[in-house]
Amino acid sequence: MIQGLTHNDHDRHYDASALSQPSHRPRQGALRARKTTSLLGLGVTAGLSLLTTGCGERYLVFRPVGPVGQVEKELIILSIILVLAVIIPVSLLLWHIVWRYRDVPGNPAPYDPEWSESHVLEVIWWGIPIVIVGVLGAFTVRDTFLLTKPPERTAAPLTVQVTSLNWKWLFQYPDQKIATVNYCEIPTNRPIQFILSANGPMNSFWVPQLGGQEYAMPGMAMRLWLQADRSGVYYGHGANFTGRGFAHMAFNVIARPRAEFDGWVRQVRHSAPVLTRVGYQSLVQSNLVKPMAFSAYAPGIFESALLKEGGMYMKRDLTMLGRSHSHSGT
């Protein structure tokens, strides 16, 4: 029996007030030159703001705090504008046609039951969607390639290894050699290289305000670049169903300036217990736990779970693990 699968999970409620913290400095980085999109987006943003008056900050996808989420938001806004260019005319046309050509006695509108071909019209509406798909497709391809690169080239990235367990998130910091469960601290203005895997059913790692998600899958290690340019506490949740405890797989990502982050690391190193292999095995069990921190962890936990018999397919991708791989104990 799984304990703790009740309906309240107070520990993981993130602090909504932290979302509105002021920006520490203007957003920087390689992804900024996007004025065209921004201008286009202005109208829709205004519309969306109207729509969401009063609780706009709840629309996490539209409140990005880093360059990755910003790129995705701008693409979303561009796509909304493009599809509205079809939806609005179609709706008006439908309304007009249905009203004008309704079958009532004495309707003066023309009735032309055999009229069924018009090359001009057909070229127009084969053409309109082709143009829209062309524009959106071009931006999509550009951003798809863009997001596989670190958002900020100047700062050295921080690597965090993320493992989805039933039903908790384990974060390991191979450079700091500390680990946390169900919360994750990161420095601001520094690209974070999340290396995602699972030791259990596949999950998806999603922190909407930092950017889009990526799956955490057993026997695979996949990279997700994210970055926070503003301090705050950001809501994260598993996005792929993993069984009974799935609804409780929330975690907070706490972003703070470099110095504070380093202080936090020191504090964890000095005060938290060690995650042993036995301790890890108990984390792998299906249950719910509260947030935890570990001053050190048994080396190779992440890599050995990854390579455990099935990871053969991933050997060629191990280079991706980068520095963390050199720590592998197995």
Partner 1 sequence: MSTFLPHFPATFIVTGDPLIYGAEVSIVLATVGILFVLTYFKKWGWLWREWLTTVDHKKIGVMYLIAALLMFFRGGVDAMLMRTQLMRPNMGFLQAEHYNQIFTTHGTIMILFMAMPFIFAMFNVAVPLQIGARDVAFPYLNAVSFWLFFFAAMLFNLSFVIGGSPDAGWVSYPPLAGLEFDRGPGENFYLLSLQITGIGSIATGINFMATILKMRAPGMTLMRMPLFSWSVLASSILIIFAFPALTVALALLLIDRLAGAHFFTMFQGGNPMMYINLFWIWGHPEVYIVILPAFGIFSEVVSTFSGKRIFGYSSMVASLMTISVISYVLWVHHFFTMGAGPGVNSFFAVATMCVGIPTGVKVFNWLFTMYRGRIRFTVPMLWAIAFIPIFAIGGATGVMLAAAPADYQYHNSFFLIAHFHQVLIGGTVFGMLAGMYYWWPKMFGHMLNERLGRWAFWLFNIGFYVTFFPQYLLGLMGMTRRMYTYPANMGWNTLNFISTIGAYVMGIGFIVLVLDVVYSIRFGERDFTGDPWNGRTLEWSLPSPAPHYNFARIPTVTSRDAWWTSKQERVRGDAPMKLEPLQPIHMPKSSGRPFIMSAIFFIGGFGLVFNWYALGFLALLGILISLLLRSLEYDTDYYVPVEEVEHTEAALGRA
* Contact flag: residue 303 with partner 1 (CB under 8 A): no
* Contact flag: residue 219 with partner 1 (CB under 8 A): yes
Residue type at 232 in one-letter notation: G
* Contact flag: residue 202 with partner 1 (CB under 8 A): yes
Q: How far is the CB of 209 from partner 1 (least distance, A)?
A: 8
* Contact flag: residue 323 with partner 1 (CB under 8 A): no
* Contact flag: residue 324 with partner 1 (CB under 8 A): no
Distance CA 270, CA 264 (A): 10
Q: 153, 30 in Cβ contact below 8 A? A: yes
* Contact flag: residue 297 with partner 1 (CB under 8 A): no
* Contact flag: residue 265 with partner 1 (CB under 8 A): no
Selected binder of partner 1 within 28, 45, 245, 300 (CB under 8 A)? 245
Residue type at 91 in one-letter notation: S
Selected binder of partner 1 within 106, 114, 270, 315 (CB under 8 A)? 114
Nearest alpha-carbon partner for 187 in 177, 173, 205: 173
Q: 210, 65 in Cβ contact below 8 A? A: yes
Q: How far is the CB of 327 from partner 1 (least distance, A)?
A: 22
**257 strand-pairing partners:** none
Q: Interface residues for partner 1 in 148-187 (CB under 8 A)?
A: 148, 166
**CA-based max dimension of the chain:** 88
Q: Would you state the structure tokens that stand for residue 103, as one six-digit string? A: 């079958």
Selected binder of partner 1 within 46, 130, 156, 274 (CB under 8 A)? 130
In a 13 Å sphere around the CA of 124, the CA atoms on its Cβ side amount to: 6
* Contact flag: residue 266 with partner 1 (CB under 8 A): no
Q: Stretches 21-29, 105-113, 153-161, 252-260: which one binds partner 1 (CB under 8 A)?
A: 105-113
Burial 169-187 (b: 16+ CB within 10 A, else e): bbbbbbebebbbbbbbbbb
* Contact flag: residue 210 with partner 1 (CB under 8 A): no
Q: Stretches 33-41, 168-176, 178-186, 241-249: which one binds partner 1 (CB under 8 A)?
A: 241-249
* Contact flag: residue 86 with partner 1 (CB under 8 A): yes
Nearest alpha-carbon partner for 294 in 317, 265, 316: 265
Q: Between residues 169 and 294, which has the closer beta carbon with respect to partner 1?
A: 169
* Contact flag: residue 243 with partner 1 (CB under 8 A): yes
Q: Interface residues for partner 1 in 32-51 (CB under 8 A)?
A: none
DSSP 32-98: ---HHHHHHHHHHHHHHHHHTTT-GGG-GGGS--SHHHHHHHHHHHHHHHHHHHHHHHHHHHHHHHH
Q: Stretches 2-10, 25-33, 154-162, 259-267: which one binds partner 1 (CB under 8 A)?
A: 2-10
